[in-house]
Structure 1
Amino acid sequence: MHLRVTLLPAARSSSVLDVRFDDERPLDSAGWQEVQRVVPVLSSLAAAQLRYCSPSARCRQTGDLLGLSPIAQPALRDCDMGRWRGRTFQEVAAREPRTVDAWLADPWSAPHGGEPLLAFISRVGGWLDTRPVDGDDWVVAVTEPSVVRAALCYVLRSPPHSYWRIDAHPLSPVTFTGRPGQWCLSFE
């Protein structure tokens, strides 16, 4: 028995230059249009036995537009960025350059008062490892791009600094197969 887990980064809620830490904004018009364009390609995701999403508005809206009717999972929320929440990387780096450098260099640090990167990766990995395996089930989750990056680090057992080298593009699915503690990246 094995499980198939597909993570789908949600459509955008802002331009790339306006991406904010722990962003709770809903889909913007460009994001709605992105989803409408890919519905024919991603409609097969609705065949999954279990359908989840990160608790943010844009993840739920992306899932609903794709016909998934996903259930929000608190463990799939974005990394808690503490006092940096709602700010762009550029804003924080301009105000606190040394703090940002320390945060990027040390995966255990949380100078923002939120969640360290390693704790975030472990939380996402814990969610993967607690999925019930019942036959050959398929789980789909619409998530924040950061959740996909964290899951890739966890599954591949890569060093935490590799998190910063992963691009998770909106509406680009990533699939893992296996069972708790024994995951493989699957190219479909």
Structure 2
Amino acid sequence: MSVRLKLLAAARSSSLLATRFDDDRPLDAAGWHAAERAAPVLCRLAAAELRYCSPSAHCRETGDALGLSPLAQPALRDCDMGRWRGRTLGEVTAAEPRAVETWLGDPGSAPHGGESLVAFITRVGGWLETRPAGDTAGLLAVAEPGVVRAALVYALQAPPHSYWCIDVQPLSVTTLTRRSGSWNLQLEG
């Protein structure tokens, strides 16, 4: 028995410069437009027998815009950023430069009072491990880019600091398969 999971990164909810930690804003106009443009290609994802999403507004809206009707999963929420929630990296760096340095350098730290990177990766990995195996048309999850990165780090058993080396673009699809207890990354051509 195996698991085949496609991870779809949500459409954007703000420009890169306006990106905020633990952001729950809905899709912006560019995000809606991008989802509508991508719908003819991404509509194939609706064949997944089980469709999930992060509980954030932009993940739910991405799923809805693509006709996926995903079920929200609390374990797929973005990293809990504690008191940094809703602030940009620039704002936090200006106010707490040492805390940001600690957070970026030590995956086990949580100077913001929320979840450490290690705890976040472990939570997402725990969700991965509970996906049902079987002869199905597969699974789909619409999630924040950070959740996709955490899933990749977990599945590939990469060191936690490698999280910072993975770029996930809006509306990109990443496929993970699990056979005999081990995860594999499948790149599509």
Name the CA distance, whole Å, in 2 between partners of 1:65 and 1:181: 34
Q: State the partner residue of 1:8.
A: 8
Which residue of structure 1 aligns with residue 141 of structure 2? 141
User: What's the offset of the Cα at 1:179?
Assistant: 4.3
Q: Name the residue aligned to 1:153.
A: 153
What's the RMSD between the two structures over aligned residues?
1.0
CA drift at 1:10: 0.3
Which position in structure 1 is the counterpart of 2:36?
36
Q: Is the 8 A contact 2:6 2:175 kept in 1?
A: yes
Gaps of 5+ in 2: none
Q: Match for 2:55: what amino acid?
A: P
- Give the corresponding residue for 1:50: 50
Q: Which residue number in structure 2 is paired with residue 23 of structure 1?
A: 23
Residue in 2 aligned with 1:128?
128
Aligned residue pair count: 188
Aligned with 2:26: secondary structure? coil
Q: Tell me if the contact between 1:177 and 1:184 (Cα under 8 Å) persists in the aligned partners.
A: yes
- Which letter maps to 1:106? D
Equivalent residue, structure 2, for 1:184: 184
Runs of 4+ with deviation above 4 angstroms? none
Shift of 1:136: 3.9
- The alpha carbon displacement at 1:48 in A equals 0.2
Go from structure 1 to structure 2 and tell me whether the alpha carbon gap of 1:112 and 1:138 turns closer, same or farther (over 3 Å shift). Answer: same
SS in 1 for 2:150: helix
1:60 alignment partner in structure 2: 60
Is this contact kept in 1: 2:47–2:137, CA < 8 A?
no
Structure 1 contact 131–180 (Cα < 8 Å) conserved: no
How many Å separate the matches in 2 of 1:124 and 1:70?
17
Deviation at 1:178, TM superposition (A): 1.4
**1:54-109 superposed Cα distances (whole Å, 9 cap, x missing partner):** 00000000001111100000000000000000000010001111110011111111
- 1:151 alignment partner, SS class: helix
In 2, are the aligned partners of 1:2 and 1:137 still within 8 Å (CA)? no
Q: Structure 1: where are the runs of 5+ without partners?
A: none
Secondary structure of 2:42's partner?
helix
TM-score (normalizing by structure 2): 0.97
